[in-house]
Structure formats: C-alpha cells, structure tokens
C-alpha cells in the first residue's frame, strides 16, 4: 500500500546527493533504521540438505520482486530529465552493455528498465531457471546469478544516491536499509559480488555494519 501511494503524496523531482557534505543515508539517525532485528545470517545461509543452485534461484526471484517493486514506486521521480545518466554514489556511471558487447551510456530509468527486463527474461526462461523437478540448472548458471545481483545492487545504489530524499520523506528508509543489508549479506555468503562492485557504497556498508 505504501508503495502504491508514494507517487501521490510526494511532489518532488529526483534529487541526488552531489552537493551535500554528507549523504543523508550515512547520517546516524537514518543508517540505524531497520524494519526487523531478524538474524540475517540464518536467512542467507544455505539450509542443510538443500541444493545450492535451488537456494540461489529461489532467492534471486525473491530479491528481484522486492527491488523491482521498490524501484517502480519511485518511477515518477526517476525520469530522463531528473536522471539523464545512470549513476551511483560519487557519480559512478553505470553503462549498459548490449547483446553485441557495446557499452551504452543511458538515463537511469532506461538502465533500470533494461536491467529489470533482462532479469525478468532470465527468470522466465525454463532453460536457465527450470521449475520442473529433476531438471538440472545450466552450465554457467552461477555466472548469470552474479550478473543479476550486480544489476540489482546498481539499482539500489542509484536509489540511495539519487532518490534517498523521496525515500526518507515517506519513511521507507528502514525498508531500504533492510533490503540492502539482506542483499549484501546474501552476496557475501555466496560470493556473488566483487569488492569493486560494491565499492561505490562502501561508506554505507561500513555505516550499516557499525549499527549492527
């Protein structure tokens, strides 16, 4: 319900944190906020007896649904005019790589649309994410999962950098922090992201760790 009414109760444009001394997501009163004190380690660790590929697949679907919902709620504020470049903290620019290996510089909404469409196509491809019992996951499945989580991480990085003001005003920062923390710990548990991938949000990662 909160996501559905977000565009109605805000009359703002995308605001990045370029000119602020300290990004608001690093401020103590914001970084310490969560929606749950659940043991994230138990939520991310591979359950005993479960196939690792199955565990990765089910979590990939879940994270995609949550992050796609969150980014969709902010779509009215993430437009080609407010976000002409897909960027993250420190003005890190995210280029989209097309099917021919060409790097394309595009607006943030276009980048997110490319990313979500790419992930959706993977998740609905039975040759990649099989849903029938006894069907094996393909060779290269882990590499594809890594790519999915890189795209999801970049989507959250853009939200933190360019749309945290909107998130903060409607009180969704505890949800965002919890979602990001969960994703980060899952990626660490299963070696899905490289340090270079997460570097743009390292200051936030450090702040979240400091607050438990």
What CA–CA distance (Å, rounded) separates 134 from 7?
Answer: 44
Q: Is 66 annotated as a binding residue?
A: no
What CA–CA distance (Å, rounded) separates 140 from 162?
Answer: 33
Q: Is 158 annotated as a binding residue?
A: yes
Long-range contacts, stretch 78-83, CB < 8 angstroms, 24+ apart? 78/14, 78/108, 78/109, 78/112, 78/158, 78/162, 78/163, 79/13, 79/14, 79/107, 79/109, 80/107, 80/109, 80/110, 81/13, 82/13, 82/14, 82/162, 83/14, 83/107, 83/108, 83/109, 83/158, 83/162
Q: Is 187 annotated as a binding residue?
A: no
Q: Is 87 annotated as a binding residue?
A: no
Residues marked as binding?
78, 83, 158, 163
Residues marked as binding for Zn(2+)?
78, 83, 158, 163
């Amino acid at each position: 319900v909160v996501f559905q009414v977000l565009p109605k109760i805000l009359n703002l444009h995308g605001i990045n944190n370029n000119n602020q001394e300290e990004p608001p997501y690093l401020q103590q009163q914001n970084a310490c906020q969560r929606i749950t004190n659940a043991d994230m380690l138990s939520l991310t660790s591979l359950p005993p007896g479960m196939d690792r590929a199955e565990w990765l697949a089910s979590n990939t679907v879940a994270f995609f649904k949550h992050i796609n919902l969150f980014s969709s709620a902010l779509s009215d504020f993430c437009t080609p005019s407010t976000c002409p470049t897909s960027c993250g903290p420190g003005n890190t620019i995210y280029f989209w790589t097309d099917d021919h290996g060409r790097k394309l510089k595009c607006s943030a909404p276009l980048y997110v649309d490319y990313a979500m469409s790419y992930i959706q196509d993977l998740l609905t491809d039975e040759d990649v994410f099989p849903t029938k019992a006894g069907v094996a996951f393909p060779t290269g499945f882990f590499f594809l999962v890594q790519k999915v989580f890189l795209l999801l991480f970049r989507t959250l990085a853009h939200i933190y950098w360019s749309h945290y003001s909107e998130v903060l005003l409607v009180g969704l920062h505890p949800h965002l922090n919890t979602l990001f923390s969960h994703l980060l710990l899952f990626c660490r548990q299963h070696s899905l992201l490289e340090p270079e991938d997460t570097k743009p949000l390292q200051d936030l990662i450090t702040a979240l760790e400091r607050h438990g």
